[in-house]
Every structure is written in C-alpha cells, then in structure tokens.
Amino acid sequence: MQVLKFGGTSVGSPEAIQKVIEIVKEKISKEPVIVVVSAFGGITDALLDCGLQAARGQEQYKEQVNLITTRHLNAVKELIPIQQQSSMLSAVKKLCNEVEDLCNGIFLLGEMTARTRDKLVSYGELISSQVINNAFLAKGILTTWWDSRKLIRTNSDFGKATLDTETTVENFSEIMKELATDLVIMPGFIASDPNGITTTLGRGGSDYTAAIAAAAIGATSLEIWTDVSGMMTADPRWVPNAKVIPTISYQEAMELSHFGAKVIYPPTIQPVMNKSIPVWIKNTFAPSDAGTLIQQDSYRNGTPVRGISSISNLALLSLEGSGMVGVPGFSRRLFEALSSQQINVILITQGSSEHSICVGVDTSTADKAKLAVDEAFAPEINLQQVDPLVVEKELSIVALVGEQMKSHPGISGKMFGALGRNGVNVRAIAQGSSERNISAVIATLDVRKAINLLHEEFFETVNKQVNLFISGVGNVGSKLLAQLAQQQQYLLHHMRLQLRVVGLANSKRTLINEEGIDLNKWKELLAAAPESTIETFTDGIIQRNLRNSVFVDITASEVVASVYGKLLDKSIAVVACNKIACSSPFKYYRELKDKAHDFNTQFLFETNVGAGLPIIGTLNDLLRSGDRINRMEAVLSGTLNFVFNHYDGSRPFADVVRQAQDEGYTEPDPRLDLSGTDVMRKIMILAREAGETLEMDSIHNNSFLPASCMEGTVEDFYKEMLRLEDHFRSIYDAAAAKGCKLKFVASFKEGKAAVGLQEIPTGHDLSNLFGKDNIVLFYTDRYPQQPLVIKGAGAGADVTASGVFADILRATLN
C-alpha cells in the first residue's frame, strides 16, 4: 500500500484536482492507496484571517466566510455532474455554516483560543477531503473517506500537537482490517486529543499526517505531491537557478526542512525514516518529472553540499559576563529560563572562553526571552558578574546542508570566503558535530544575496553573475559598453561569467535594471531615465545589495571620486579610470586601499597611468613576487609626446599645441598637460604603488613653460605661447644641434620623483616613441641593467576602455 499526499496548490483548483485524479487512478491500478489532502490552497490562511477579524470585532469576517463558501461550492459544481451535486452542495454549505457559527462565537467573545483556532482551521481539510472524495466517486472510482481525527491521536497541545504513536498505530490497524476499497481518502493536518477534541499538527502538517499514516500501515512508499519537481538545492523563490536534488538522505532532508525548505514539513521524515519507507517529492503539474527520492543512503557521489536553506525572523540572544567563566550551570540556567517560557532554541554557539553564550530564537519570542533570562540571572546582573541579556533582531540563518561535508575539508572556508567577499557580515556560526549542517547568522537584508552567492559557489559551475554599475558614458564609457556587449557571450562560455550592467549613470541621469541593461539600446534608455545624482546612484547600489557588485568610474569628476569609500565599506569593488582619488593626498589614497583590503574587495585603477598598458599590474606583480623597484624612467604624456614629435620650428609651437587640442589629445585646459601636472600625478601614483609615501608638492617639476603662460584664459595662453615662440625654438634648436629629441620624462629614484623636458639621444630607450606612445622602464633588483620595458599607445578611448575592462575582470575573479 502506498500513501500519496497532495498539497494546497495540488488541490487548489478544479483543474488541479482533475490532475490529482489522473495520478491516483494510475496508482490504484497497481496497489491500494491512501490519499491525504491539504485544504485548497490559501484556505487555511483565509480561515485564520476570519477568526482573527472576528476576534478583533471586525465584521468583515462575514464577507470572508462567504468567499470561502463560494470557492468550495464552485469546486463542487465543476467537479461533480449536476445530477449528483445536491447532496455535496448541502454538505459543503452545512460545514461552511459551522465555520460561520464558530466565527460568530469568536466575535461575541472577542477572543480566539488555540483550541478554537484548531477547530476553525480544521474545516479547510475537512471540506477539501470530502469534495475530493466525491469527485473520485463521480468518476466511478470507489473510495472510503476516513476522518483523520478518528485515527490520529495527539496530546492537547493545540496548534502544534504531538503524536500518541501507540494509539494511532492501533487505530490504523483496526481500520486496515476492514479495508473495503483500493482508495482511502483522508484529510491532512487534523487529529484529535484523548477527549476527541480537534487538534492540528502545525502549519504544513498534512505532510506529517501522510507520514504518520505511511508508518502506521508500513506503506511501500510515501509520495508528497506538490507544485515543484522535487526538493531543490535552494528555495526556488529566492534562487532562480535552483536545481532539483535527485536523491537525498533522510537526515539531509530533515536538516534542510528544519532550516527552512518549506517543501516538506520538518517532523514528516521521522516516522518514515524509522521504518525505512522511501519518500518521493513529486510535481502534480509535471508528473513525469523524476522528482526527489528521500531514502536511507544518499548517493555518495555528487556534491558534498546538498542544499542551502534559510530561516528568517531570527533573534540572537547573547549572555555575557566574566562571572560565567569556568562556573558550571550557567547554560543549564539559561536553557531552563527559556524552556520555562516554551521558547524554542534554533541555534546555539558558545566561545571556548566560556565568556558568552549565544542562542538564536524566533523573533516573536525574543522579548519574552529577555524578561525570563534577566530575571533568572538577576543576582549575577546586580553583582555585575553577568550583563543583561543582549537581544538583536532582524537576523536570519543561512545553512549549508550535506552529509558528505564532513569528509570534504574547506567547505566552511569557501562558504565564509564567499560571504566575506560580498560584504555579508556573519554574526554567529554554528556547525553541528555531525557536520551535516553549517549555519551562519546574518542580517535578514543580506539573505537573498547570501543564498544566491552560496548557490553560485556550490552548485553553479556554469555561471558567476557579476553586477556592474558604471558612472560616465563619454568617449571611454561608450567604448567600454560596446566592448562589454561584444564580449558577453565569450565571457559566459569561456570564463563562466555573466557580466551584466545593472546601473548606468551620466552627470544627470541614472538607469537601473536588475535584469541587466540592454547594451544595444543603452543610449535611448539612459536618455529616458529619471534624473539623479551620484549620491542617489550609490545609495541605490548599496541598498540593492547585489552579489559581486563592481562600481566603475569613467568620469573625471571629483564628486564621483569621493564616493569610493562608502562603496568599499560595503565590499563593492571599485574600478577607477578617474585619476583624482589616487592622486589626491596620500592619506585618502591609503584609506581607500586599506578599505579594499579590510572589506575583502578590490580597488583597481590600472588606466590611471598609460591607459590600457599593463603598468600598475606589472609593478604589483614584481613587488608581490619579491622584487624591488629601484628606479623608474617614463614618458607618460601622450599630449607632450605628440607636441614634441610634431614641433620642428617650421611652424609656431602654439600651432602644434592647437592641433593636439583639436585632435583630442589634451585636457580641456592644455596647460594641465603642458605644465607637466598630469605627468606628476602619474609618476606619483606609480611611486605610491611602489611603496613610497609621496605628495604632489614633493615632486620636482622642471617645467619648460614660462610662468607667464599660466596666467589668464586658455586663449591668453595661446597668445602668450606665440609671443614666446623664440623660447620654444631655442629649446628645440639646442636639442637638434646635439642630434637629440625632446621628451618630457618622469623619473623616480631613491624615493624622489621628478618630471621635466630632457634631450634624448637617438638610440636611447626613450627616444623611439611615436604618436601617443607611452613608455615605462622599470629598473629593479631582477632587472638591474636592462630595464623591464612597457611601451605602447598611452591614450585613446578604445585602449583605455580595454584597460578598464581588464580591471573589471580582475575585480570579479577575486
């Protein structure tokens, strides 16, 4: 004999019930079946609601009762042919009238006791099971309807009664002897106490009813039919990529359900496990899907982590105090205080110093717990040996479950590493010595992110989702978006990265789409997006709390550079093309680097020097592998290179500068480039990365621009250059006479940095530079005579965008 249980959604509509009938018909052709049914989906909640409204004196409960009645009557009308309807219709009406009478009573009394509540909600299963029974009869299938209250005996703990196993088994064996049909139908969830008063087995309790029945009759198997195709690696409502677990052990299933996997009511496993009855989780709406088999042994192969689940509404209670160390009996008194108030403890941790004990309880019981514990420890609290109980709310537990975790080292490391990298703060940890479960207490706000990233870490070998927030869509920004669009498929296939641009902002507007912005239409979408500031953009990033978030700054804005700190604080990686942060006072630069380190994230700015050239990355690789930077020589200004490559005295210096500006190689005020300020910033960043504490004012600048050029507007500057043409000409002639080229060189040696124009002889490493080329020579312990040379285009939107792209990848592969 088999036991099949159909849940609320499986019997939630007449169409669903037709599916149930098909499934059961096929089963009874092979062996007798007991079918346990839930109330129609949503009815238990609706009944509870009626009771609550009535108790509060709100007369709307009557309308609600009417809705419940109509829903059941309609089901009868759809499932049973007209000729046979009347008796069932009047039976349903009678039961619904009883519901109304009960509610009237509650209304008059102004209260609903636990016992009355059980009576009230029992009607959900009572009615559904009778309607379904009649639907089978109407199809010509013989059935017997059993009232579970005559079979399942519990104590009088209303709301969550516990089983009297012996009487229950006895009752079942009596009935079994007289089994008259191949199909028995019974209501789930409800039972009765020794006085015959209706009790219930707790929310979700129909699963338990079915397991009790299966154990009592020694069923060949128990099948839980629901609305998903099995027990899944995580709650599918939280994790869209959750997968069905093909087989799982009783212990694992129990652990997962205790830790929030609602698909099965936790007490369900015990009775069937004791009798080694296999349990299947099957989908009523996709009956041919394999489902999940729960049995004694789960397969040894496969992943050591079977599933991830979570419990919300957790409060953490911490009892601390020096008076607790080494004194026996503190835990006993704590737990006694809690149990005296019937407070269920979900999780326990105690540090080895014994200085504190921390327990997790349901938030609804936290205040009661505080009163009880503070009272129990009043003497010690008065003597300041123990602190008053500390209660923290709005917490949740996320748990990894798997029997094989004990034989796989490194799982908690991986779990906490993933949480840490994403700024999920872990408040408490518990790992049972069975090592079947590792639990972490985290803020409820972080649960969605945590479950998804743990799922990614342990189950998704295919995809790691990365969420990008980009500020700045000018030349470089647009190129980056084009490159991202072009590479999305490649990254998915070759690097298992799903890069999505979730946020995009210019100085006026912000576009956000959590599903990922369509990169072929970003211009139109951004133009139509709401106005916003960088503050609202960054607050939005923090508040969304998405895993693997990266903020990318492709602006030249000081305000944007000022938000990095608060993002890094939340473990959001920052990739900056913007040079302002790294060239601001050393203290700010250091603070950002430290934050990235402390919050386990990345602050990357390769494109601050030499655009896409791998300069900072190489420097870091050298240092990390134990080399030392002794000297750097570099040409780091595309603008100055252009100017000195084109100036030969045949036309005025001012004209060549004008051409450089027209072709887009200069800052809007070209004096920033020509004065060497930009080069100073770059050599300072390199020196800082090499470990020096350097500020702008300690860099020597041997400028070739006479002071008078720095006065007035940009146009005044051009006029002044024309007036000073002889000055520029003489510099050029002096170099040419020696067969040298002019290069604006940045150097760093013995802790000192300097920039300035130099005459470079042909054949020198720095001489062979064309167009916008940059070059850096690193003289190190390992490259003492012949330097390590990095050379190539040091400006241009395409190469800069690709440098930013590379930083993004580095940040995400962290």
List of residues contacting ligand ADP (CB under 6 A): 7-10, 38, 204, 226-228, 231-232, 234-237, 261-263, 307, 309
Residues 373-392 within binding reach of ligand ASP (CB under 6 A) = none
Selection from 303, 242, 235, 221 nearest residue 264 by Cα: 235
Q: How far is the CB of 325 from ligand ADP (least distance, A)?
A: 41
Chain centroid to CA 566: how far? 19
From the list Mg ion, ligand ASP, ligand ADP, none, partner contacted by residue 189 (C-beta under 5 to 8 A by kind): ligand ASP
Residues 175-204 within binding reach of Mg ion (CB under 5 A) = 204
Cα angle value 638/642/648 (rounded, 5°): 155
In a 13 Å sphere around the CA of 712, the CA atoms on its Cβ side amount to 11
Interface residue with ligand ASP, options 2, 9, 10, 44 (CB under 6 A): 44
Using the minimum distance from each CB to Mg ion, give the nearer residue, 189 or 805.
Answer: 189
Does 8 interact with ligand ASP (rule: CB under 6 A)?
yes
Does 130 interact with ligand ASP (rule: CB under 6 A)?
no
Task: Give the helix/strand (H/E) hosting 488.
Answer: helix 475-495
Q: Which of 19, 282, 595, 682 is catalytic?
A: 682
Q: How far is the CB of 221 from ligand ADP (least distance, A)?
A: 17
Does 205 interact with ligand ASP (rule: CB under 6 A)?
yes
Interface residue with ligand ASP, options 107, 146, 189, 647 (CB under 6 A): 189
Strand boundaries in 386-476, DSSP class E: 390-401, 428-431, 437-443, 464-471
Return all residues near 796 (Cβ < 8 A) that are at least 6 apart.
Answer: 611, 638, 772
Q: How far is the CB of 268 from ligand ASP (least distance, A)?
A: 10
Residues 4-43 within binding reach of Mg ion (CB under 5 A) = 7
Q: How far is the CB of 74 from ligand ADP (least distance, A)?
A: 20
Using the minimum distance from each CB to Mg ion, give the nearer residue, 208 or 647.
Answer: 208
What binding mask, one character per residue, do residues 201-220 give for Mg ion by CB under 5 A, x or -? ---x----------------
- Window contacting ligand ASP (CB under 6 A); options: 38-46, 176-184, 549-557, 752-760: 38-46
Q: What is the distance between the terminal CA atoms of the chain, rounded to a whole angstrom?
A: 55
User: Which residue reads 């007490």 in tokens?
Assistant: 267
> What is the distance between the alpha carbons of residues 184 and 146, in angstroms, rounded to a whole number?
7
Burial 314-334 (b: 16+ CB within 10 A, else e): bbbbbbbbebbeeeeebeeeb
Q: How far is the CB of 69 from ligand ASP (least distance, A)?
A: 18
Residues 206-265 within binding reach of ligand ASP (CB under 6 A) = 206-207
> What is the distance between the alpha carbons of residues 137 and 690, in angstroms, rounded to a whole number?
84
Does 291 interact with Mg ion (rule: CB under 5 A)?
no
Beta bridge partners of residue 76, listed in sequence order: none
Q: How far is the CB of 265 from ligand ASP (least distance, A)?
A: 6
Q: How far is the CB of 37 from ligand ASP (least distance, A)?
A: 9
From the list Mg ion, ligand ADP, ligand ASP, none, partner contacted by residue 188 (C-beta under 5 to 8 A by kind): ligand ASP
From the list ligand ADP, ligand ASP, Mg ion, none, partner contacted by residue 231 (C-beta under 5 to 8 A by kind): ligand ADP
Beta bridge partners of residue 401, listed in sequence order: 307, 437
Using the minimum distance from each CB to Mg ion, give the nearer residue, 268 or 510.
Answer: 268
Interface residue with ligand ASP, options 12, 51, 124, 477 (CB under 6 A): 124
Question: Is 682 known to be catalytic?
Answer: yes
Determine contact, residues 689/668, Cβ cutoff 8 Å.
Answer: no
Selection from 351, 339, 443, 330 nearest residue 392 by Cα: 443
Residues 159-188 within binding reach of ligand ASP (CB under 6 A) = 188
- Would you state the structure tokens that stand for residue 354, as one six-digit string? 């014994």
Determine contact, residues 739/728, Cβ cutoff 8 Å.
Answer: no
Using the minimum distance from each CB to ligand ASP, give the nearer residue, 40 or 728.
Answer: 40
- Window contacting ligand ASP (CB under 6 A); options: 202-210, 409-417, 671-679, 761-769: 202-210
From the list Mg ion, ligand ADP, ligand ASP, none, partner contacted by residue 349 (C-beta under 5 to 8 A by kind): none
From the list Mg ion, ligand ASP, ligand ADP, none, partner contacted by residue 227 (C-beta under 5 to 8 A by kind): ligand ADP
Interface residue with ligand ASP, options 21, 39, 560, 563 (CB under 6 A): 39
Cβ atoms within 10 Å of 105's Cβ, excluding its own: 14
- Window contacting ligand ASP (CB under 6 A); options: 64-72, 197-205, 335-343, 682-690: 197-205
Q: How far is the CB of 204 from Mg ion (least distance, A)?
A: 4
The residue nearest ligand ADP at its CB is 7
**Residue 384 backbone phi and psi in degrees, to 5:** 60, 30
Interface residue with ligand ASP, options 56, 77, 93, 203 (CB under 6 A): 203
- Residue 505 per-residue DSSP state: E
Using the minimum distance from each CB to ligand ADP, give the nearer residue, 401 or 790.
Answer: 401
**Residue 650 backbone phi and psi in degrees, to 5:** -75, -25
From the list ligand ADP, ligand ASP, Mg ion, none, partner contacted by residue 802 (C-beta under 5 to 8 A by kind): none
Cβ atoms within 10 Å of 159's Cβ, excluding its own: 14
Q: How far is CA 99 from CA 65, 118, 198, in A?
A: 7, 12, 14
* 178 CB burial (10 A radius; 0-12, 13-18, 19+): exposed
Output the CA torsion sign for 272, 278, 282, 287: negative
Interface residue with ligand ASP, options 2, 4, 7, 469 (CB under 6 A): 7
Cα angle value 370/156/348 (rounded, 5°): 35
Does 638 interact with Mg ion (rule: CB under 5 A)?
no
* 379 CB burial (10 A radius; 0-12, 13-18, 19+): exposed
Q: Which residues bind Mg ion (CB under 5 A)?
A: 7, 204
- Residues labelled catalytic: 682
Q: Which residues bind ligand ASP (CB under 6 A)?
A: 7-8, 38-39, 44, 124, 188-189, 203-207
